[in-house]
Amino acid sequence: MKNLLFLIFLAPANLFCQIDLKKGLFGHYPIDGNLNDESGFRNNAAGENVIFSADRFGKPASAGYFNGVNAFASIPQNSKLNFRRNSSFSISVWVSPDPGNKWPAQAIIVKSPPHYDFTQSVWDYGIYLLNYRGMAGYGYNHILNSETVFNSRSCWYNIIITYAAGNWKMFINGKEESNSDFQQTISYDAESVLVLGRKGASDGDYYKGKMDDIRIYNRILTPDEISYLSANPCNKSSCPE
């Protein structure tokens, strides 16, 4: 029995030691008291009205709070983030939205050009909350829609989307909840801006709540990597797993 228990505990360690979370990492914003890019490319984000708050482990100043009105963080233009239709990429983000936001669409991380009417800005790609469910796609196309409703007052949720030349998948806390294999491809606009908490460079769809540990990859994350990144969704018994 002791040998069996040893193998059970050893297996995850051996499994996760094979994971290379630096491979293909084009942007990493852990939000540890700042909005710096820790991927190695130093593509630091510029925040407007973002407040640093406690993360899901209770560590102070280790997550960003967005007020839903005028708080956002812009990621500088970088050709590495101009994904095309035949690209592969993955985005991972942790969120804890405030309840009661009456506007149905909240931009988590969205690449979209400026437009005087933000509802007309055709976004390239990104992650939204739509009526408190995870949503992803491009333009006006809701390709992925989660089953989970993000309605807990005390929980954090990990959202991961993957895209490969028209094939989409969405994972909530490590569980695949939505996919599309109908070759629905992203839009491409080299002038669009990737922004946290707002619809790109357009003034709208502001997110209200906390956000943490944003990662952008130029490849598809493996199932083991997805499990690793989405582990420990929160430390309260009321949170879904």
pLDDT computed for residue 234 by the predictor: 59
pLDDT above 70: percentage of residues in the chain: 89
Under the banding of pLDDT at 50, 70 and 90, the label for residue 26 is very high
Please give the helix or strand (H or E) that residue 11 lies within, else none: helix 2-16
Phi, psi angles (nearest 5°) of residue 24 = 70, 15
Q: 128 - beta bridge partners?
A: 107, 135
Read off the pLDDT of residues 151-172 as tens digits, 9 standing for 90 and up: 887 889 999 999 998 999 999 9
pLDDT reading at 8 higher than 80: no
Q: What would the mean pLDDT of 163-184 be, rounded to a whole number?
A: 92
Read off the pLDDT of residues 87-121 as tens digits, 9 standing for 90 and up: 999 999 999 999 989 899 999 999 999 999 999 99
Query: Under 8 Å CB-to-CB from 20, ≥6 apart: which residues?
Result: none
d(C-alpha 44, C-alpha 28), whole Å:
9
Classify strands 175-180 and 88-97 as parallel, antiparallel or unpaired: unpaired
Under the banding of pLDDT at 50, 70 and 90, the label for residue 10 is very low
The DSSP line for 161-198 is: EEEETTEEEEEETTEEEEEE-S--PPP--TT-EEEESS
pLDDT reading at 11 higher than 60: no
pLDDT computed for residue 239 by the predictor: 55
Vertex 168: Cα angle to 121 and 137 (nearest 5): 15
Residues 176, 183: contact at Cβ < 8 Å?
Answer: no
d(C-alpha 176, C-alpha 30), whole Å:
23
Under the banding of pLDDT at 50, 70 and 90, the label for residue 185 is confident
Choose the weakest-confidence range: 1-5, 14-18, 83-87, 117-121: 1-5
Overall residue count recorded for the chain in this entry: 241
**pTM value?**
0.90
d(C-alpha 122, C-alpha 81), whole Å:
17
Mean pLDDT taken over the chain: 89
pLDDT reading at 133 higher than 90: yes
